[in-house]
A and B are shown apart, each in its own frame.
Chain A
Amino acid sequence: MNALLLTLAAPVVGAILLALLPGVRVGALLNIVFCAAGFVASLGLASGVLSTGPVGGAEFYVDAFNVYLIVLTAFVGLTTAIFSRSYMGHEVGSGRVTTGRMRLYHSSFQGFLLTMLLGLSTNNLGILWVSLEGATLATVLLVSLYRTPESIEAAWKYFVLCGVGIAQTLFGTVLVYLAAAQVVPDTEPALHWTVLLQHADKLDPGVMRIAFVFLLVGYGTKVGLVPLHNWLPDAHSEGPTPMSAVLSGLLLNVALYAIVRVKMLTEGALGAAGGGAGEITGKLMMGFGLISFIVAGLFLHRQRDIKRLYSYSSIEHMGLMTFAFGLGGPLATFGALLHMTVHSLTKSAIFVTVGHASQIAATQLMENIRGLIRTQPAVGWGLLVGTLAIAGFPPFGVFISEFLLLTATMKSAPWLALPLLTGLAVAFAGLFRHLQPMVFGDRPEGQAPVKASLMPVLIHLLMVLWLGLSIPLVLARWFDQATILIAGTGLL
């Protein structure tokens, strides 16, 4: 419990302190310090959970499923904070952001981390809602940080669309509470996930079905499922790049985590514990996931802004993960959990290099970015390798998870394997068609390298490579424990 409290306390203290302190450089340094503290605490928490079992039980609950997400969030938060220091320093220097707004930026960064960690570790479905709404609120003002008309429009769309989505989630949560109140004797723990899972088979299936639909649509808006995804490319592309990295890499994961938790409850109520493509929950998730995957893959070809390109790639991968969780079964679930990790790491690494690329070329339009590998080889190579990784090339981790998913699909729903493969190919083509001229084209006049901290990129990509080549036994056992929780049976 202490490790958990420390993990949550670090961003709280960080947010308050960074809101009060002026000075950009001190703020950036403190940002890194608080993220590091949180990360260390989360490692302590993880070792505790893995050795002794789930922690908490009343308001907080950390089991194998969410502890690795907590560690992942803290880790990516730390590396992004390191990246943000040099990147935002350049932005302040070039005049795109004022120092006053940097205070808001740093304290919102910590606040955002807090809401995500809270959402991941809470046991109360209501608090889960509050923290996801809080995550939106913490980042809205950051999307419009540059105060351009486009960024304000993106922030407005983000706010309103996510707000409406999350409102539907609240209705779904109320319905879950209604079903629970019939079954659980005490009203206080009626929204606790552990208690609900215990009584899952007694929950009324009709109410839970309607609740699941509302929750899927609501949280699905935050995951970026088509057709509720309209805000995502705008918000992820108009905000500062560290924001895009954490939004793409972390927030989407937390929303998907919420859906999976609710799915476990609903399936318990519908009488099909362990997941299955037969139930409506699985079918809905597969449907939304597949549509998101295919549509996003098609849209990739039309993009002109580099950050929008990679946000559509995020939508595509989240669709893939939703599909995998909907498919159910140990193989697909293991694959989905692995995919959450590697996608998070790869996407944030890509956004780091994209940020530097756009700084080099002083624009985000892809047709004006050329010859990165000649101007600053580290950035060029980083972008190339990152895109290779996210497109699913072996030996990177994404290939492994997609392979697991395809195997699972061929086992349970073979006719869906063809759309999946086609979608993967289309997305691959879309990414590389835009990437090739950017990395390898002729270097324009007067393009100079920028001060870049590419250590995060290196670390992330190495980790993804490692996960692709041979998953360490500790991690494999970790994922397996989570798979057993979600799907009923394990892989190993």
Chain B
Amino acid sequence: MNAPGWILVILQTGLVVLAAPLYAGWIKRVKALLQNRTPPPYLQPYRDLRKLFAKEIVLAETTSAIFRIAPYIVLGAAVLAMSVVPLIALDLPVTAVADAVVLVGLLALGRFFLALAGLDAGTVFGGMGASREMMVASLAEPAMLMVIFTLAMVASSTNLSTVIMHTLITPLALRPSVIFALIALVMVAIAETGRIPVDNPATHLELTMIHEAMILEYSGRHLAMMELAAQLKLLLYSVLIVNLFFPWGMALTQAPASVEIAMAAIFAKLAILGTLLAIGETAVAKMRVFRVPTFLAIAFTVALVGMLSFIILEAG
């Protein structure tokens, strides 16, 4: 029983759950600064969650048990997925479970129940949001899988830790497959987490919503859980991008010194990625919904080019 390892795992999971609102808040802050507004305080997302947890739940009469269970499942899936992704250290007891396909499966589980919740209330907007979310997902998942397969071919395994280890060990090489996989993953991440240009997280116009439409009927702690799950998903994709493609700084052992370096490294990398995301969101306008399939087809093609580059150019 690898006690230090499990402690590290619990530490890591707790850290992510705590950090997710902070990360989302950081992105909002940078956007506000770019738009010349006064940003909210750093702890504002926590205050919002605390407020929501304290509020009363209002349930629509047309909802079923699924409506009440869904937030728990969605949040649970997000936390589980996040605990599986290598964040700080590579040599953890959960690394054997850190398979990319498992990750996609957990995300799909969360998405499934989120869509069900949207449909459950029987409102128009909920149904619209659910159908749009499923359309995006049906196109984004193949692209995501293509990215994963490309990386898996490079590292000869779908296990995320093995992939990261491979990047850390082999000498630095200019691989076209990895470059294209990065571009494709960024596009897929934007689509899956519902950021501009696919979906505006700060919109109040129901007809432009995808994610927000599905959680429109939620209140109180349910809403808090859904919000936290969305923030976790954003953090998850960001960690994937940062750690799969720029893993330097991660702890290869469980020594406290390397763990501390790794924590500092991930903190810095996420801060930079958050800033870049905020700049991107400010610079680009939201696409019309019928253009989203083309956007995702481009992401898929980029991922496909990455995989083809590997097979044709790199595998000799």
State if A and B touch, Cβ cutoff 8 Å.
no
- On A, residues with C-beta under 8 Å from B are none
- On B, residues with C-beta under 8 Å from A are none
